[in-house]
Amino acid sequence: MRCDKCRSEAVFFQSYSGRHLCARHLAVDIEARAKRTIRSHRWMIPKDHIAVVLSGDKKSAALLFFLKKLLAGRRDIRLSALPAGVGETGGSDLSALRQIAEILAIPLNEIPAAGDHGTAPHDRPTKIALALTLDDIALDMLARFLFGNKETLVHPQRAEMDGVPIICPFVAIPAEELEIYWDSQDTGVNPVSCPPRQDPLKRELETLFRDYYCRHPATRFALMNLAEELSSGGRTRIAAAAPGLNGPGPKETSRGAPDDDT
C-alpha cells in the first residue's frame, strides 16, 4: 500500500482515520498530536526542568527522543532522564537505560526521594514526563468501571509524583504507533520491553479489550472522552498505569478519532 500523503510505501494503517501512512508522515502525525496536547495543557514554561521516566521500553525511549527534538535550540528548558524499575524483578537494566540516554545525549539522573531537599534547586525537576499512551488511559478507564471503582471514576487524584507535576504528551497516541515511531528513528538502540506485573483479571481484560478495539477503532478515544467528562473540571485521569494520576485527553472528530492538523 501507498502513503495517502506522499505515495511512498506505507508502514502503518491508521484504522481510526482510514489512512495509510509512511514512516515520515506517521512521525509527523504523532509529533503534531503530542505538541497539541502539550500546548492545550500548558505543560511547558520557561525555566522548566523536565525529567522523562525512562523504563527501557520503546514508549519511554520515544518520549525522550520526541522531547529532545521538540526542545532543540531552547535554552530556557532543561531535559533529563530518570531510570525506572531498576533492581525490581523483571525490571529495567541500568546499563540499557544509560545506553539510551547516552545515544540521545541526555543526562540520566536518579529519581529524587520524596521530600528530598538536598538536591540543588536547579537540578530538581519541575515536571516529570511519563510515556503513558491512549491504550493505558482507555484500559484503565474500562477496568475502573468493570471492577466497580466508582470513587476514582469521578474523583481522580492530582497528577503528581512526590509533589512534582506529571505531564504525558503521548496520551492521545496508540501504543503501536509509538513503537513504529521509535523504530523509524534509526538510533541504533533496540529497547527491550519488560511487561509490567499484572493480575490475571487485568491481563484477561486487556486481551478482550484489544480484540474489541481492533474491530471498533474509535473505542479507545471514546473511553478517553468519557473519562474527561466524568473527571472534575473536564480533565481526564492519567490512570492506573501510573497510579493515582490524572491528565488530558484528545478531542474527537465526527469519525470518533482525534482531529488531525498535520
Residue 84 maps to which CATH number?
Answer: 3.40.50.620
What pLDDT score was predicted for residue 36?
A: 95
The answer to whether residue 184 sits within a structural domain is: yes
CA atoms of 103 and 20, how far apart (whole Å): 31
**pLDDT one-digit tens code per residue, 91-104:** 568 888 998 999 99
**Rounded to 5 degrees, what are φ and ψ at 82?**
-120, 125
The answer to whether residue 260 sits within a structural domain is: no
CB distance 258 to 172 below 8 Å: yes
The answer to whether residue 47 sits within a structural domain is: yes
* Average confidence score pLDDT of the chain: 79
**pLDDT one-digit tens code per residue, 109-140:** 876 555 555 555 557 899 999 999 999 888 88
The answer to whether residue 88 sits within a structural domain is: yes
CB distance 60 to 133 below 8 Å: no
Could you tell me the residue range of the domain that residue 53 belongs to? 12-234
Residue 195 has pLDDT above 70, yes or no: no
* Nearest residue to 49 via CA among 78, 82, 89, 69: 78
The answer to whether residue 258 sits within a structural domain is: no
What pLDDT score was predicted for residue 156?
A: 52
The answer to whether residue 24 sits within a structural domain is: yes
For residue 86, the Cα-to-chain-centroid distance in whole angstroms is: 20
The answer to whether residue 242 sits within a structural domain is: no
pTM over the 0.85 mark: no
CA atoms of 246 and 103, how far apart (whole Å): 31
**pLDDT one-digit tens code per residue, 146-176:** 877 666 665 555 567 778 999 999 999 999 9
Q: Which residue's entry shows cell 491512549?
A: 134
Number of domain units in the chain: 1
Of 52-61, 109-118, 234-243, give the lowest mean pLDDT range.
Answer: 234-243
Characterize the bridge pairing of strands 49-54 and 78-83: parallel
The answer to whether residue 1 sits within a structural domain is: no
What pLDDT score was predicted for residue 120?
A: 53
CA atoms of 220 and 136, how far apart (whole Å): 9
